[in-house]
Amino acid sequence: MRLIRVMCSGRVDMGFILRAFSKGTDGVFIGACHLGECNYVTHGNYQALSMALLFKKIMEHIGLNPERLKIAFMSGSEANVFVEEVNDFVKKIKELGPPNKSEGISESELKSKLEEVTKLVPYIKIVKRDKLASRPDKEEAYEAFFTKDEIDRLFSEVISYYIDPQKCQACMTCARRCPADAIISAKNRIHVIDQDKCIRCGTCFESCPPKFGAVTKYAGQPVPPPVPEEQREIVRKRKKE
C-alpha cells in the first residue's frame, strides 16, 4: 500500500492511482475530510469521492478488484478513525494478496491495461466532466453512481479525430489551438494528428474552419493511417493573371 500526501483530497488524480498500481502497489487508500466539511470551501472531497467511484468501475473493467481502492472520510482530530480505517484496509489487502494471485492477471498484462487507461485519462475527464463535478450524497447511491454499462461504453466508444488530407489547407488553426501540441504542422504541409499525444478534447474538430471541414470524428474505431511524410506537401494552383 502507498501513502500519497496532498493538501486536499480533491487534488488526488486518477493518474496518481494508476501510477501506484503500475509500480506494483497492491492497494491505494485515500483519506478525506467529512463530506460537507471542506477546509478549503472547494468541496474537493466530493470530487475525490466521484473520482474514486469512477475509478473503481474502471478497475472492474480491466479485471482489477475494486476493493483495492478505498476512500474514507474523517477529520484531522479523528486519529482513531484513521488508524481503524487504515488497519482494516491493510488487512483486506493482505487477504487479497497480489493481483496476479487473486485476480489471475499477470503483471505484464496488468501493466499493459493500466498504460492504456493512463492514455485515456484526459479523455475520460472530458467525457465525464459533469458527473465528476456532481456530489453523490448518499452512501447507498455510490455503487450505482457509475454503472458497468456506462464504463463499457466509455471504452468501446472512444472518440478519435483525424485530419482528412484531401481537405486540409494547412491553415494551422487547429495546431495553434491544440492544448496538447498533438498536431504535426508546417506551412503548406498537410497536418497530421499524433494519436499518442492526442487527448481527444475535440478542439481541432471545433476550430477547423467550416469552409474546410477537414477534421473528422471517429467513434469506437481506429482512424486511418497518417499520410506518409513525403506526401504531405500541398501544391497550390496559381491564379491565372
Residues 31 and 149 in one domain: yes
Residues 52 and 65 in one domain: yes
DSSP label at residue 7: S
pLDDT at residue 3 tops 70: no
Residues 136 and 195 in one domain: no
pLDDT at residue 16 tops 70: yes
CA distance 179 to 198: 9
Predicted pLDDT of residue 173: 96
Residues 116 and 143 in one domain: yes
What residues pair up with 73 in beta bridges, in sequence order?
32
Using DSSP's 3-state secondary structure scheme, residue 151 falls into helix
Residues 122 and 49 in one domain: yes
Mean local confidence (pLDDT), 165-169? 95
Q: Which among 93, 121, 156 is the end of a domain?
A: 156
pLDDT at residue 113 tops 90: yes
Residues 103 and 163 in one domain: no
Predicted pLDDT of residue 137: 75
Q: Which among 123, 156, 189 is the end of a domain?
A: 156
Phi, psi of 68 (to 5 degrees): -80, -5
pLDDT at residue 52 tops 60: yes
Residues 127 and 82 in one domain: yes
Give 188's contacts (C-beta < 8 A, 6+ positions apart).
Answer: 170, 233, 234, 236
pLDDT at residue 207 tops 70: yes
Structural domain contains residue 111: yes
Residue 134 vs residue 214, higher pLDDT: 214
Q: Are 213 and 173 in contact (CB under 8 A)?
A: no
Domain extent, residue 200, equals 159-231
Residues 45 and 144 in one domain: yes
Structural domain contains residue 83: yes
Residues 36 and 142 in one domain: yes
Q: What percent of the chain has pLDDT over 70?
A: 95
Give 234's contacts (C-beta < 8 A, 6+ positions apart).
Answer: 168, 169, 170, 188, 189, 190
Structural domain contains residue 22: yes
Q: How many residues does the chain have?
A: 241
Mean local confidence (pLDDT), 149-170? 95
pLDDT at residue 73 tops 70: yes
Nine cell digits for residue 192: 497530421
Structural domain contains residue 73: yes
Predicted pLDDT of residue 62: 96
Give 186's contacts (C-beta < 8 A, 6+ positions apart).
Answer: 170
Residues 149 and 206 in one domain: no
CA distance 81 to 74: 7
Residues 148 and 212 in one domain: no
Predicted pLDDT of residue 239: 54
CA distance 230 to 140: 59
CA distance 152 to 116: 14
CATH number at residue 166: 3.30.70.20
Predicted pLDDT of residue 219: 93
- For residue range 123-144, what is the model confidence (pLDDT) as tens digits? 999 999 999 998 887 888 899 9
Residues 115 and 180 in one domain: no
Structural domain contains residue 2: no
Split into its structural domains, the chain has a count of: 2
pLDDT at residue 75 tops 90: no
pLDDT at residue 4 tops 80: no
Q: Which among 112, 131, 156 is the end of a domain?
A: 156
Predicted pLDDT of residue 1: 56
